Structure 1
Amino acid sequence: MIAGARVNKTLKIAQTQGTLRYSRWDALLVFLSAMHAAILIALPLMPVIALGLWWNANTISHNFIHKPFFRQQALNRLFSFYLSVLLGFPQSMWRDRHIAHHAGVVWQKRINRQILIEAILIAVLWIALLTLYPVFFLTVYLPGYFAGIGLCYLQGYYEHARGTTSNYGVIYNTLLLNDGYHVEHHADPSAHWTQLPKQFDKDARASRWPAVLRWIDAINLETLEKLVLRSRLLQRFMLKTHERAVRRLLQELGEIRRIGIVGGGIFPRTVLILQRLLPGAQLVVIDAKSESIQVAQTFIKRGNDEDIFSAAPSVLGGENVMSTQGLRPGLLSGRPLRGLCKESLFLNPYIDRETVEFIHEWYDPARHNSFDLVIIPLSFIGDRESIYRHPPAPAVLIHDWIWRRRGESSIVSLFLFKRLNLVKR
């Protein structure tokens, strides 16, 4: 309450004195808008134009929509003219569209005097550039402009692609003035940008990526995983790097008897590693795709002495390669799947069927709750932040990108941009 009273007092002071209407911090945005123009003049390059448009549209321009900076309307109109010329689209039209977005209604296009003047100013600039610097305008400015519009489209789309989503990365929110607090912003669009972190919603849907980069989650990591099945060197590399990280973090834990491996199909490196490091533990692989389970099950030894490897060189130069018997036809275009030979990094090159169970289900922390340790993959489909905040087991190992360190952590590989994080209840 005391902090809230101080905030209200600050805002009231700002409303009754000075040029700025809401907060002295808005002077920073005015200064940054001038710096944006200066950088464009000094470095008129396509990437600078594109990134500058995207950055300004989601920081200065966006905040000016919700909280016009100046007390005097004449200054707000002038600043709107300036932003329109700087960014290449009428700021007032952008404001109408954005307000409709928050209201959840269809944007009704309209032309008023302010919008018309802004459009004319943009046209004057573009005609001048085309006349004086035609090559620059056609080969640098316009491509950069449309690339920036494309980045803005990605930003807007992925902010709401799976429901309104926030990003709480410190670097992103520092550089983009708390733009990552998107759930909080939609809960209270009138909140000043400096106050959004104080309105943090612990139950908000969150992404590890800023909105403009969330398309990365659409990359099919399973396809990359299948490539490992085709390469002896990749298999050895994946096993060696992952075992080192897992071994280090297991030292932080006590006795582990039952382990849940989420999405452990295709190349079952986690199962192979854990059977080596924790030979007495019961392993349960939970995978929503039957094809992935079928591939992983081909690593199971099919009898006391029967070899599941045949027909091609093994990982470290042996004579065997695992059979594809039992796989769905065409799964890997008919090419043999290379497995681990007896001379590999592992004493036991096979999955021991007595200690491994495969479950064809979506992982549900509420139902799959009988584990001492749960392992979450990089390709996890779900709320990773919720797993971090509310670990579904006494210990959870979470594969994540290398810049996402949480809890105890070990880098898997710089080449893979990957680390393994350990969180505990």
Structure 2
Amino acid sequence: MRVKKSPYLFAYSAWDIIPVLAGCLHFLFFAWMISSFHSLALWQKCVVGLIYAFSISWNVNSVSHNFIHNAYFKSALLNRLFSLMESVTMGFSQTMYDYVHRQHHIGNNDRKGADGETIDWISIYRHGEHGQAEHPLKYSLLSYFRDDPKRIYGLIKKHSQALAYFAVFEVVVVTLMIVGFLLWDWQFGLFFVFFYYLGHSLTAMNGYYEHAGANPDLPIAWGVSCYNKLYNWLWLNNGYHAEHHYRPKHHWTQMHTLHTEIAEKQKQAGVKVIPWPHPIGFMMEWMKEQ
């Protein structure tokens, strides 16, 4: 895909209108879910809740992920407003996610060092034993509770005090929103909290299979890729994950081109490629057991 430079609104490419609109549609779906909750039958609420949970994982790994690597707008104000909208839609600070993800790319899913720590705070090896990756289910279900907001805030503050304040603002807005849901209607509040947590667990599972079996000691093989066309179309080329870790600032529209340029090097390095999209990477384990 050829990059179309935008002379006005977008910082990098006119193609970024796609993730921007997708993010806005996700927000509108979230608003509709709130307003329509009481008019839905129980089975419909369950379906909508599952869609919302899955959509969190989709957004984190497509719209939001590309946004934190290459901010969509030239205007700092528009970028902050988009970040706030994403934070409200998914229930967590996008600014904090940005800095956790920066740490992820510094460590690149590293194994534990001599001090028993990993540089990457979300490394699948961080809570594993005997040098092995943690079990995917345990990693997925517990990752939400392992974030350290104070530590993340300190990292952001080193770069920008103003941005650190904005991160706190996003956290306050999201916290008040969730408390407001519980006070407004405890049934909707519990419904939201459950599927919100499920969404973040699915996000962690997605991240797990983006790195399970990768080589944390070889830059070109830091990630695991999936070249399924439908998956990459819907997830804005997130399937090119080994390529992404090799060139984190590469724009999402250029990932296939990058892949073709380094394909031979990847083959020589033994880059892991899976047939199943990362969100359902567990299917590989299931297939092995059959």
Fold match by TM threshold 0.5: yes
Contact in 1 for aligned 2:27/2:85 (Cα 8 Å): no
Residue 113, structure 1, aligned to residue 165, structure 2: yes
> What code does the residue aligned with 2:211 have?
H
Alignment of 1:167-182 (within 5 A): 167-182=226-241
Equivalent-residue separation in structure 2 for 1:72 and 1:220 (angstroms): 47
Q: List alignment gaps of at least 5 residues for structure 2.
A: 35-47, 108-118, 122-150, 155-163, 215-222
How far did residue 43 of structure 1 move?
4.1
Residue 21, structure 1, aligned to residue 11, structure 2: yes
Secondary structure of the corresponding residue to residue 81 of structure 1: helix
Equivalent-residue separation in structure 2 for 1:154 and 1:106 (angstroms): 16
> What code does the residue aligned with 1:216 have?
M
Deviations 1:2-55 (A, max 9, x none): x9xx75xx44xx3xx201100111112111111112222334521122011111
Contact in 2 for aligned 1:49/1:141 (Cα 8 Å): no
Aligned residues: 212
Q: List alignment gaps of at least 5 residues for structure 1.
A: 225-425
How far did residue 147 of structure 1 move?
0.8
Larger RCO, structure (CA 8 Å, separation 6 or more): 2
- Higher percent of residues as helix: 2
How far did residue 71 of structure 1 move?
0.6
Number of the residue aligned with 1:59: 62
- State which of 189, 193, 208 in structure 1 corresponds to 2:252: 193
Contact in 2 for aligned 1:50/1:148 (Cα 8 Å): yes
Number of the residue aligned with 2:126: none
TM-score by length of 2: 0.69
Number of the residue aligned with 2:26: 36
Residue 94, structure 1, aligned to residue 97, structure 2: yes
Q: Which has the larger radius of gyration?
A: 1
How far did residue 103 of structure 1 move?
1.3
Equivalent-residue separation in structure 1 for 2:168 and 2:276 (angstroms): 37
Q: Closer, same or farther in 2 for the Cα pair 1:209/1:134, shift >3 Å? A: same
Deviations 1:376-419 (A, max 9, x none): xxxxxxxxxxxxxxxxxxxxxxxxxxxxxxxxxxxxxxxxxxxx
Alignment of 1:223-238 (within 5 A): 224=290
Equivalent-residue separation in structure 2 for 1:177 and 1:55 (angstroms): 10
Of 194-203 and 64-73, deviating more is 194-203
Q: Closer, same or farther in 2 for the Cα pair 1:106/1:168, shift >3 Å? A: closer
> What code does the residue aligned with 1:137 have?
G
Residue 125, structure 1, aligned to residue 192, structure 2: no
Contact in 1 for aligned 2:225/2:242 (Cα 8 Å): yes
- State which of 148, 152, 159 in structure 1 corresponds to 2:203: 152
How far did residue 58 of structure 1 move?
0.6
Equivalent-residue separation in structure 2 for 1:220 and 1:172 (angstroms): 19
